[in-house]
Structure 1
C-alpha cells in the first residue's frame, strides 16, 4: 500500500513569540476588563499594558434610558470599553425614588471594591450620550408636567485613572443625636493626615465635595479654606443626597453607627512614591458668576434668628453705609425693588454678607479671614428683613445681589476666553520646547467637571448648553461631566481668573449662587531621560 506523503511540520507559535508591537496594537483595543486580564499574562505583557496606560485618562458617559438597569449598563459599558484602571468613580443621577444603594453596589462590582466611588442625586446632568455621542444638558424639572412628576431616570458616570496621584473618599461625620454638631475639625484633619501620609504635604491637589442636603456646609468650607493651601482646588455640590465607598473599609461603616455622613470628600493627593518617569497632574478652576450687585451697602444693626437648626431664618435691621437712620425690612426692599424696575422677570434676591471671622483647627493658632457669604432674601416687614440661614452678626456689612442671565452669559464667555488662553499657552509652550529640544513635554487636558446652579440652564439663558460651552468650544474631544446642583461649591479660582484684584483675592467665597464652577485636570509628561 502506497504511503501518503507526510505534511511538513509547521513551527509552533506561542504568545511569547508574538512581536511586541503587534501585542500592543491588540491589547490597546481591548475593553478594560480584558485589558486587566492581559496585564496578568506575563511580565512582558504587563510592561506593555503599563506603556499603554502611562498617562492619566478620564472616561465619561451619559444615559437617559428610562430603564434604570439598562441606563446603568450603558454608561458602565461605555466607560470600560477602552483600557482604564479605575482610581475613582463619580456617578450623578436624576429621577424620583432612585435607589442609590443599588447603583453603588453595581458600580463596586464592576469597578472593584477598592475603588473610591461616590453616587449622588442631582437636579440635572450634562455630558455625552453613551450611545449617540451627543452632548446634552438635562434638568430634572423637564420631567414635570402640570405639577406632576413624569417617570424618568438619567445618569452621568465618570471614571478616572490618575497615575502620580492617590485618591480616596473621606466622610464628614455628624452624630445622629439631635443638635450635635458635625465633626468638622476631625474631617479637616483626616483630609490633611491622608494627604500627608501619601504625599508628605498636608494639603491635597484637589477635593470634590458633596454635602448632605440637610447639613450646613458653611462652617465646613470656612475650615477647609483656612486649613488648605491656596493651590488646593475645591469644587462640588453643596446640597445633595449621596452614598459612597472608600478604599478604607472602616470608613464605609456608617449605616448602623451613631454617626451619619454630613458630607463626603473625594481627595486627590500627590503620590510621593510615584514611579520614575510619571508626569505631573495639575488642577485648574474657574467660575462663571450669575449674580449682579445692586443698591448701596448696608450695615446690620440688630440681628436675631428664629426656627430650628436645619431651617433657620435671620431677622435683621440695617442702616445704609455712611448714614445713621435705621431702616426696616420693607423700606429696604422697596428701595431695591425700585432699582430692579427695568429688570425682565422677577430675579431671585440675595444679600452678600462680608464676614470677618476667626478660623482655627483644633488647638492650632487662629487667624482672621474675610468671607463673602450669600443668604437668600425671604422677604421683609415694617420691622425686619428676613434672610435665609444663620451666621450674620451685628456690624456685618452686606449688599444686595440679584440673579442676572446677562451677567452669567458674559461671565461664561469670559471663562471660555480664559480656557482659550490656557490652551494657546500650552500650545505655544509646547512649540517652544519642540524648537529647542527633542525632549518635548506637551501639556494636555485630561478631563473636567462642571458644577452649575440648578437655576441656570436653558430656561435661564433661553438657549441650550451654555454652561457646557467653555468646554465644548475649547476642548470638544475631552471627557467632561457636569451636574446642576442646589448650591455650587467652588474654591481656588485665581489660577484662571487672572484679572482678580488684591481685594478679591483677600475676600474668600466658597459657596456660590447662580454660578458655575469648572474644574480642569491637565497633565504634563515627565521629561525623557537621555
Structure 2
C-alpha cells in the first residue's frame, strides 16, 4: 500500500480516466484525493449513446448498457427507446435502474424506429420498424437505443401527468404544468426550465397539454419529444414513483432540465438549441370553418365541418373541397396523407392566473368527406377558424433539412472561431463553446422510403458534428417548441403562430457547453 500510495498523481489520473463507469464510480469513493482526481476527469457534461439490433432482447440491452458505461460518466438521466411489438418495458426499466442507480430519472418507450451508432460496430444507421417474413411467419425487427447524460450545472427529474380514466382532465393538466414550474423554481429560482423532453401516451390528447405549457413557459424553454408512445418512467425520488392505478393513468411524462443555482463554483453553462425540418407544404386556398360538429365514438374523436373559401360566400361540402385539393395535387403521387393546419386563437390560463390570447397552428389529419361534411381527426376546431391544407412533400423536407444543416454548419463555424480566439488568450466577450450531443425526433413517415435515400434525418448531425453522440427516434407525432434560432425558412403564418405538435417533421436538439472563465 505504501508503494502504491507514492504513485505520481498524473499516473493515477491516467489510469482512472481509462476505467469504465462503474469502476470509475468505485474509485471515486476510495479516498478524498482520488475523488478530487475523478472530479478533474469528469467535470464537463457528457452524452453516451448506443443502439443494438441483437435479436436476443437481453443481449441487446446488455450491449447498449456496456457501451454507454464503457467510459467514465455519472448518469443524471437516461432515455431508452425500443422498437418492436409486445415489448416488456418494465423489465428494461428495472434492469436500467439496477445498472444506472435508483436515483437516476429514466424513461423507456416504444417507438417506430431508431437512429444512432451501433454498440458493436460503431456504424451509424437509421432503422425503421418493419416486418419481414421468415419461413412463412412474420417476425418483428427488434432493437433498442440508450442515451445517458451527465449535465453538471443542471438538475433533471421525470415529472408525470396523471389523468383520470373518466371525468374532467383539464385541472390535471394545470397541476402538471404547476409541478414543472414548482420543480424548476425549487432548483433554479426560475419557474421556466432550460428544456423538457416529453413523451405522451398514445391514447391521450397532447394538444391542451402543449397549449398550457406554451402559455406558461418562457420563450427560452425548449420542449421536444414524442407525442404518442407507450412508455414507463422512474423519478429521481423513489417515493414519487407512483404508477397508474385503476382510476388514473400516465398521460405524459416530462424529463425536466433546470439550472442548479447551487452548482459548484467553476461549473460552466449548458445551453439547449432547437431546430425544425418541416416535411409538409401548403396546397390550395385558405378556408373558414362555417359549421362544426364534434363526434365522439369508441374509435376516437373526429370533427365534421363545412367551410367556405377565404373571401367567398358560398359554403362548400367536404367532397367538393377534397375534389378541389386533389386537382391541385394531380402530380403528387406516393404520399396520400393530407392534413389541415387550423389557425386557432384561444384564451389560455393556468388555474386562477391571468389569461392571454394566443394563436396556434394545429394539424388535423383529413379522414375524408361526403356531400355534406369534411371529416378531420381530433377535436378543438371551432366555427370561424381558418385552415389550409398541407401534404407531405419530400422535396420541401430535403430543402428544410438542408437549411437545418446549413445553420448547424454556421453555428459550428462560429463556435470554432470563438474557440480559436479563446485559445490565443482573447478572453473578453469570447465564449469557448463546444457541443455535448443531441437528439432527433422524426416522423415515422419519413426515413429512407420518404426520401429515397438513407440517413437524411441524421445528416445535419453527421455532416457538421461527426463523432459527437447523437440519438434519434422515429415517432408518431413530433413535439417541438422553441425554434427562434433556426426557423428562418418557415412561412409567415408559422412564424406568427405557435406550433408545438408537428407532422412529417424532424425536430433537432443540440446541447452545448461553455466552460467557466478562469
Give the TM-score of the pair, scaled to structure 1. 0.94
Q: Distance in 1 between matches of 2:510 and 2:300?
A: 35
Instruction: Give matches, 1:326-341, under 5 Å.
Output: 326-341=315-330
Match of 2:265 in 1: 276
Deviation at 1:432, TM superposition (A): 2.8
Q: Distance in 1 between matches of 2:407 and 2:138?
A: 39
* Residues 173, 182 of structure 1: 8 Å contact kept: no
Q: Deviations over 1:149-191 (max 9, x none)?
A: 4143200000000000000000000113366557100000000
Match of 1:459 in 2: 449
Instruction: Give matches, 1:355-366, under 5 Å.
Output: 355-366=344-355
* Residues 494, 500 of structure 1: 8 Å contact kept: no
Match of 2:370 in 1: 381
Match of 2:472 in 1: 482
Deviation at 1:18, TM superposition (A): 1.3
Match of 1:514 in 2: 504
Task: Give the gaps of 5 or more residues in structure 1.
Answer: 1-11
Deviation at 1:498, TM superposition (A): 4.5
Question: SS of the residue aligned with 2:509?
Answer: strand
* Residues 192, 218 of structure 2: 8 Å contact kept: yes
Q: Distance in 1 between matches of 2:198 and 2:387?
A: 27
Q: Does 1:128 find its partner at 2:123? A: no
* Residues 447, 479 of structure 1: 8 Å contact kept: yes
* Residues 174, 182 of structure 1: 8 Å contact kept: no
Q: Does 1:260 find its partner at 2:249? A: yes
Q: Deviations over 1:36-83 (max 9, x none)?
A: 011011111100000100000000000000000000000000000000
* Residues 214, 310 of structure 1: 8 Å contact kept: no
Rg (Cα) greater in structure: 1
Deviation at 1:345, TM superposition (A): 2.2
Give the TM-score of the pair, scaled to structure 2. 0.97
Please say which of residues 127-136 and 300-309 is displaced more in the overlay.
300-309
Q: Deviations over 1:133-161 (max 9, x none)?
A: 00111111254789964143200000000
CA-atom RMSD in angstroms:
1.8
* Residues 335, 392 of structure 2: 8 Å contact kept: no
Deviation at 1:435, TM superposition (A): 3.8
Q: Distance in 2 between matches of 1:320 and 1:19?
A: 79
Deviation at 1:429, TM superposition (A): 1.8
Q: Distance in 1 between matches of 2:311 and 2:493?
A: 21
Q: Distance in 2 between matches of 1:179 and 1:186?
A: 13
* Residues 302, 318 of structure 1: 8 Å contact kept: yes
Q: Does 1:21 find its partner at 2:10? A: yes
Q: Distance in 1 between matches of 2:413 and 2:34?
A: 38
Q: How many positions carry a matched residue from both structures? A: 517
CA pair 108-15 structure 1, distance change in 2 beyond 3 A: same
Q: Deviations over 1:380-433 (max 9, x none)?
A: 001000000000000000000001111111111111001001101111122233
Question: SS of the residue aligned with 1:496?
Answer: coil
Q: Deviations over 1:317-344 (max 9, x none)?
A: 0000000000000000000000100113
* Residues 163, 249 of structure 2: 8 Å contact kept: yes
* Residues 223, 359 of structure 1: 8 Å contact kept: yes
Q: Distance in 2 between matches of 1:377 and 1:14?
A: 75
Q: Distance in 1 between matches of 2:210 and 2:137?
A: 36
Question: SS of the residue aligned with 2:327?
Answer: helix
CA pair 526-144 structure 1, distance change in 2 beyond 3 A: farther
Deviation at 1:495, TM superposition (A): 2.0
CA pair 209-152 structure 1, distance change in 2 beyond 3 A: same
CA pair 126-406 structure 1, distance change in 2 beyond 3 A: same
Q: Distance in 1 between matches of 2:55 and 2:211?
A: 40
Q: Distance in 1 between matches of 2:212 and 2:137?
A: 41
